């Protein structure tokens, strides 16, 4: 697919699973970032194999930065397997910008209410401690009822740099996250989900980033299309409209937020 060159202000997709695309799609994405006006990506990991793949991708292309973690919406692995992932992260700490994606399995629990949470909480605690040990920020999958639980854990360990990706939750928790200086990120569903539009109106722009969570696919104007990081320009436009702030200012703020949060430049 050849795209018309987009030349807006630089922007970073702060949360994508680049390793989960098939190799043709990944090639297409990596080959079209520049013409899409996307300066870089943070590729988060699903499990150990995913960490290895993201590391390999990021070593070949400096626009891609890796985060290492274990996604909570899957059965937990043994302690020994988890320890392997943690040692991998320690060994490769200079090639990672964050711990992630980690968190709690909200959607799996909705499907299976008898799912035991304690082992997931223990797993998340290990990653929170690793985040402190390595001095890296943490990228969280934590929505609705799970978010206050995760806030408790972060506060207990005095974590300051936390990013609640694709966040959805109650007003009280939103207020708490804001006061703690936590970041949220917004996906293309801001174009058609009122819940996300309301969140963006309430949350300070200085604590927002943008993401696609690709290869996850979206509805509305994106229905039936492969999720390409180029979509985030539409997200920025929507944020600018909702916040009633000039587009250029919003681009600059989102870009600065991403650099400040991950403490790296693209």
The residues of the shown chain that bind Zn ion, judged by CB under 5 A, are 101, 213
Q: Which CB sits closer to Zn ion, 167 or 240?
A: 167
Of 233, 248, 147, whose CA–CA distance to 190 is shortest?
Answer: 233
- β-partners of residue 163 are 139, 183
**Phi, psi values for residue 132, rounded to 5°:** -70, -45
Smallest gap from residue 16 Cβ to Zn ion (A): 8
Q: Which is nearer to Zn ion, 75 or 113 (CB)?
A: 75
- Nearest distance, CB of residue 141 and Zn ion, angstroms: 6
Residue 51 CB, nearest approach to Zn ion (Å) = 14
Burial 144-158, CB ≥16 within 10 A → b, else e = eebbbbbbebbeeee
For Zn ion, give the closer residue by CB, 146 or 213: 213
User: Minimum distance between the CB of residue 7 and Zn ion, rounded to whole angstroms?
Assistant: 28
Closest CB to Zn ion among residues 212, 240:
212
DSSP codes, 200-239 = HHHS-GGGEEE---TTS---GGGTTS---GGGHHHHHHHH
Distance in Å, CB of 225 to Zn ion, minimum: 18
Taking a C-beta distance cutoff of 8 angstroms, is the pair 38, 229 a contact? yes
Residue closest to Zn ion when measured from CB atoms: 213
Alpha-carbon distance 24 to 241, whole Å? 35
d(CA 266, CA 259): 8
User: Least distance to Zn ion from the beta carbon of 17, Å?
Assistant: 6
- Specify the residue, 213 or 238, whose C-beta has the smaller distance to Zn ion: 213
Whether the Cβ atoms of residue 240 and residue 195 lie closer than 8 Å to each other: no
In the bound state with Zn ion, the residue whose beta carbon lies nearer, of 161 and 240, is 161
Two tokens, residue 120:
């997931």
């Amino acid at each position: 697919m050849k795209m018309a060159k987009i030349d807006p202000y630089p922007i970073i997709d702060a949360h994508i699973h680049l390793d989960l695309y098939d190799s043709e799609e990944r090639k297409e994405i990596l080959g079209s970032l520049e013409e899409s006006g996307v300066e870089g990506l943070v590729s988060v990991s699903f499990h150990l194999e995913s960490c290895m793949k993201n590391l390999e991708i990021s070593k070949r292309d400096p626009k891609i930065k890796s985060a290492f973690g274990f996604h909570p919406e899957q059965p937990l692995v043994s302690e020994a397997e988890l320890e392997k992932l943690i040692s991998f992260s320690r060994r490769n700490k200079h090639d990672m910008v964050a711990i992630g994606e980690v968190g709690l399995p909200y959607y799996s629990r909705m499907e299976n209410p008898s799912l035991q949470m304690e082992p997931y909480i223990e797993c998340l605690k290990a990653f929170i401690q690793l985040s402190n040990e390595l001095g890296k920020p943490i990228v969280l999958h934590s929505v609705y009822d799970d978010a206050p639980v995760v806030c408790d854990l972060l506060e207990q360990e005095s974590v300051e740099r936390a990013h609640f990706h694709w966040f959805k939750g109650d007003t009280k928790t939103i207020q708490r996250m804001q006061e703690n200086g936590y970041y949220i990120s917004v996906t293309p569903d801001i174009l058609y989900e009122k819940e996300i539009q309301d969140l963006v109106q309430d949350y300070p722009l200085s604590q927002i980033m943008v993401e696609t969570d690709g290869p996850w696919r979206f509805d509305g104007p994106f229905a039936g299309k492969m999720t390409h990081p180029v979509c985030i320009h539409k997200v920025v436009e929507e944020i600018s409209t909702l916040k009633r702030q000039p587009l250029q200012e919003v681009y600059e703020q989102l870009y600065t937020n991403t650099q400040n949060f991950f403490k790296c430049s693209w």
